[in-house]
Structure 1
Amino acid sequence: MDPNSTSSSIFGVVDYLALLLVLAISTAIGLYHGVCGSRQQTTQEYFLGNREMGPIPVALSILASYMSAITYLGTPAEAYIYGPEFWMISLNCAIVGVVITRTFIPIFYRLQLTSIYEYFDKRFNKAVRMSVVAFSTAFGLLYLGIVIYAPSLALNAVAGISLPLSILTMGLVCTLYTSVGGIKGVIWTDVFQFSAMMLGFFIMIIAGCVQVGGVGKVWQLAAEGNRTRVLDFRIDPRIRHTFFTLVIGGTFQVVFNCGCNQLIVQRFLSCSSEKNAKIAAWLGVGLIGFTQIIAVVTGIVMYAFYAHCDPLTTERITKQDQLIPLFIVDLVGNVPGMSGLLVSCAFSASLSSVSSGMNALAAIAAEDFIKPNFKDIDDKKLTIITKFFSAGCGLFGIVLAFIASVMGDILNSTLLLMGIVSGPVLGVFTLGVFFPWSTSKGVLTGLFVGSICGIGYAVGIQRNPSPTFEPPLFIDGCSAGDVTTINPYTSYMNELNMTSMEHIVQPTDAPFIAGEVSGYNFYSLSYLYISFMAWFICMVVGLAVSFLTGANDPLTVDSELLSPFWESFCCCLPDKLRGKDIRIRNVNLSQSALYVRRTSPKDQNDKFEFENEEKPKSTPIEENV
């Protein structure tokens, strides 16, 4: 279809049937696991699938839950506007994989947790646990609203269905199959929805390349529009997306999402073994990086398609989040059912995240609120209560979706919100896992100060944004009648190709490098550094307060609650930091494979266990008190 056309196609009967079919399949999978088989009658079945899940479906579920319609709609739009630099966020996959498989999964899996926030009860106290739970729950509910809104916007843009009806349809379908099907229903619908999302990306890439004239033509048009910068090593922290902002700032957000977020970690805990959980983590993180690249490629193909008639400048659409829906209609709108299929992919991407979020919030409610306060509650009754709570979360998410409709672009808003939450929460987990000296007073103070700083800076960025310049968007291929109100900066870029249009406003200065900013102010830093900044503040304040108020003796902290890295790192520390009564163990490894560890970290009798078949008669242990 001609991208210069100003009239968007609307859904036909076949398109609606394709959309309804995808929604029906997702619902059927969830209802099957809720009605057949074990019917999710215990909390272990409902939240963890009796810890019987294999690594491959769990990995696909992790990907589907992480990506959502925010990636399906937001990431291609980001590449369309600014170029392909965002793909560099996938470079942090190796770092993320190492951190979560060597630190968080071993601790959470060996403790046999259902809610990861139970860790804070064991490591600190209930006050820390409930503070982090409250913070994370608020983020989870807001996130539900955004991901419900995203595909509803897509359907509204291409089919003309009212936004409220779209939000209600998507939210109610998801609420139904998630509250009934439990974690097994969520994981297997995620597998289906991931397949639908990837199918949508590949159809758009292939069909777009064919329409434009091949891969070479796509790259040529992208180069002409200054959208071929794939690596950006500028160290200016004000530039929104560079190698450093995406790898440093992005790493903290991805580590939080995959290692300290109930929504994702709950899937690791459903695996049949710790080994399978680690396999699922590596596969899931790798697939996340791959999908981010595919989404960016889709955005570049979309730019080539609209290279000479930008729909934002001509006001065919009003938000960049509507680019993908419009692209779908213009690209395959003349093929019956194809628009419905591709828009349903956006629904599938969102359904996976909403269902995962609802199940995670229900697990938090059961394990962190109900069980601690009603210790004698029957497990079957608790399962029924949590199913109703899961449904309530879905309904509340629908309400928040209407609020999300007044926010800015989806990707930026979500990453900004994620940055506010991920930094402080990751900071608290880091203090607990890596720093045995940290105390409850320290981590609570660090969480509070880090959160306030993150929220304050995020609000400041929104209210006092630094001027950010974009590569050109052209309309030289549009007819004069297609152009209405034109953005001043975009119009300046267009003047280079449309000199006959006398009404264009010309700003005095407009650099051509994507994401570059001019001038300095307190809020000039890239929004991706919010997470790192909040994490760093939480860490520094938490450790400072811990030492000022009386740091823990490391030997009083259960080794099961510390990262395996700690044991390796401990030998490099001075005796004063390792503990007041630390022992220097000189074990002759050539004579026996002796492994010494404390049987009970809080045992005042200071006993040790020798993990070989027979305790050696004499072991050269030199005490240094």
Structure 2
Amino acid sequence: MIRPISLGGLKAVVWTDVVQTFSMFGALVLVAVKGTIDLGGSDVVFRSAWETGRLERPNFDINPTTRHTLWSQLIGGFVYWLQTNAVSQNMIQRYLSLPSVKAGRRALWIFVFGVCLLMALCSYCGLLIYATYQNCDPLTTKLAKAKDQLLPLFVMDILGELPGLPGLFVAGVFSAALSSLSTCLNSMSAVILEDFVKPYVKKPLSPLAINWIMRSVVVGVGALCAALVFVVEKMGTVLQLTMSLEAITNGPLLGTFTLGILIPWVESRSALTGGIVGVLFMSWLSLKAQYAVATGAITYPHKQMSVEECSYEFDRSALNATVTSSVAAEDIFPLFRVCYMWYTFLGAAVTILVSLACTLVYGRNDPKTVAPDLLAGFVRRYVYGGEGEEASGSGCNSNGKEVKARLNNSAGSCNHDEILKESQL
């Protein structure tokens, strides 16, 4: 995967994503259909889940430490996906590679539909696994040593006798991982080139030098990601770990963009200070909370499982075993118990609040020195009035002279061809 990305750039990433998406959906659909047929129909799956409390009504608890409430899913989930679709370098790079805003919107709607379908398939497969093992829990019997092993075990049980199909599932699983990894590697190489290399070189880089720099970054970051696999496997469930660690940068990044779009009175030093504080705060919160989960200091209640109908022998002494932690539950700092779904929201909120507080030290920025097309519509109308509407969409840079020229002449244009060329390197 690292070699194609380093050689092919964004085009290679897009085409590999297409192939991997079909592999991923194909594997999930195959498992869902075959498992449902073996179990006797989808009504068996949903009836089993409902009767044993696996399907629940929404939890309206406003306590942020309660795991997976309606509010954490709606508000926290909305902020998380807002950052992913509106601010993330991975998505912005793809928007810029499209020929028009209309094409970008169409691609975004397709992405939203695909994500919703993927989540529905994953949720159904989870219910299917429970219905299959509800009277012989593999985790209790230690047939599976971690929750992430349940799906592979289920696949081998239902597809093991069909040559090639377990391999298809493995390809789908790897496709899901490699699709995200390829996107991040390509975006990371572009960010490092534009923000950490070009500003500090005296002469313009040649195309050959740019290619070598981006390829080196892809190889280096890819090797680091591969090495971190040995750390991640000891840090708890992948979903919570991913969302928790992503929030370290995603929250402050969303907060910084929100400041730029909605609060132009905050100047750059205040925004930078807020971003740094946001990253430090979220690093402390995410890493400490995840460490507490990994060591067993923070645990979450599990629904009761049964082993009454197991057809194989296992060590029953494990049924009465208890897991102890060196840290007492009451010694855990309350903030570490906040549901991970709130982390991106917290990171953005801390960044915005600290940045606003820093305006008392650094002073306020003149909002009219900000390009109108960088502001939200209602903010632009408030700051510029009618002139802002005429000037919006007419330029790229945000220095005061260009803004003034655009307000006077309504002239200027973005070099989209140059942006597209750089995004495809």
TM-score range, shorter chain: 0.7 to 0.9
Query: What pairs with 1:154-553 in structure 2 (closer than 5 Å)?
Result: 174-229=1-56, 231-374=58-201, 375-464=203-292, 465-479=297-311, 481-486=313-318, 504=320, 521-553=334-366
The residue identity in structure 2 corresponding to 1:396 is L
Let me know the Cα RMSD of the aligned residues: 2.9
Query: What pairs with 1:90-109 in structure 2 (closer than 5 Å)?
Result: none
2:49·2:130 contact (CA, 8 Å) conserved in 1? yes
2:241·2:290 contact (CA, 8 Å) conserved in 1? no
Counterpart CA distance in 2 for 1:400 and 1:463 is 16
TM-score normalised by the chain length of structure 2: 0.85
1:556 to 2:369 alignment: yes
Shift of 1:258: 1.9
Comparing both structures, which one devotes a greater share of its residues to helix?
Answer: 2
Counterpart CA distance in 1 for 2:207 and 2:72 is 46
Q: 1:422 to 1:389 in 2, by over 3 A?
A: closer
Shift of 1:290: 2.4
Match of 2:400 in 1: 602
The residue identity in structure 2 corresponding to 1:330 is D
Counterpart secondary structure, 2:84: helix
Shift of 1:557: 1.2
Match of 2:417 in 1: none
Q: 1:485 to 1:438 in 2, by over 3 A?
A: farther
Counterpart CA distance in 2 for 1:537 and 1:275 is 34
2:373·2:391 contact (CA, 8 Å) conserved in 1? no
Counterpart CA distance in 1 for 2:218 and 2:288 is 34
Instruction: Map Cα deviations across residues 448-467 of structure 1 (whole Å, 9 max, x no partner).
Output: 22222222222342355544
Counterpart secondary structure, 2:256: helix
Match of 2:422 in 1: none
Counterpart CA distance in 2 for 1:230 and 1:196 is 33
Q: 1:472 to 1:602 in 2, by over 3 A?
A: same
Counterpart CA distance in 2 for 1:239 and 1:281 is 32
Match of 1:36 in 2: none
Match of 1:44 in 2: none
Counterpart CA distance in 2 for 1:300 and 1:424 is 35
2:235·2:290 contact (CA, 8 Å) conserved in 1? no
Match of 1:32 in 2: none
Counterpart CA distance in 2 for 1:320 and 1:207 is 21
Counterpart CA distance in 1 for 2:390 and 2:3 is 52
Counterpart secondary structure, 1:312: helix
Instruction: Map Cα deviations across residues 217-266 of structure 1 (whole Å, 9 max, x no partner).
Output: 11122123210115333333222112211121122222222222212221
Query: Which of the pair has more CA radius of gyration?
Result: 1
1:437·1:547 contact (CA, 8 Å) conserved in 2? no
Gaps of at least 5 residues in structure 2 are 324-331, 412-425
1:567 to 2:380 alignment: yes
Shift of 1:530: 1.9
Identity among equivalent positions (%) equals 31
Instruction: Map Cα deviations across residues 389-421 of structure 1 (whole Å, 9 max, x no partner).
Output: 322222222222232232211111111112222
2:372·2:403 contact (CA, 8 Å) conserved in 1? no
1:595·1:611 contact (CA, 8 Å) conserved in 2? no
Q: 1:313 to 1:283 in 2, by over 3 A?
A: same
Counterpart CA distance in 2 for 1:393 and 1:551 is 39
Shift of 1:346: 0.3
1:596·1:610 contact (CA, 8 Å) conserved in 2? no
1:362·1:389 contact (CA, 8 Å) conserved in 2? yes
2:369·2:403 contact (CA, 8 Å) conserved in 1? no
Q: 1:199 to 1:609 in 2, by over 3 A?
A: same
Match of 1:15 in 2: none
Gaps of at least 5 residues in structure 1 are 1-173, 492-503, 508-518, 571-577, 588-593, 613-625
Counterpart CA distance in 2 for 1:562 and 1:442 is 18
Would you say how many aligned residue pairs link Structure 1 and Structure 2? 394
The residue identity in structure 2 corresponding to 1:481 is E
Counterpart CA distance in 2 for 1:272 and 1:597 is 22
The residue identity in structure 1 corresponding to 2:347 is A
2:371·2:403 contact (CA, 8 Å) conserved in 1? no
Q: 1:437 to 1:479 in 2, by over 3 A?
A: same
1:225·1:307 contact (CA, 8 Å) conserved in 2? no
Shift of 1:506: 9.8
Shift of 1:215: 0.9
Counterpart CA distance in 2 for 1:280 and 1:311 is 41
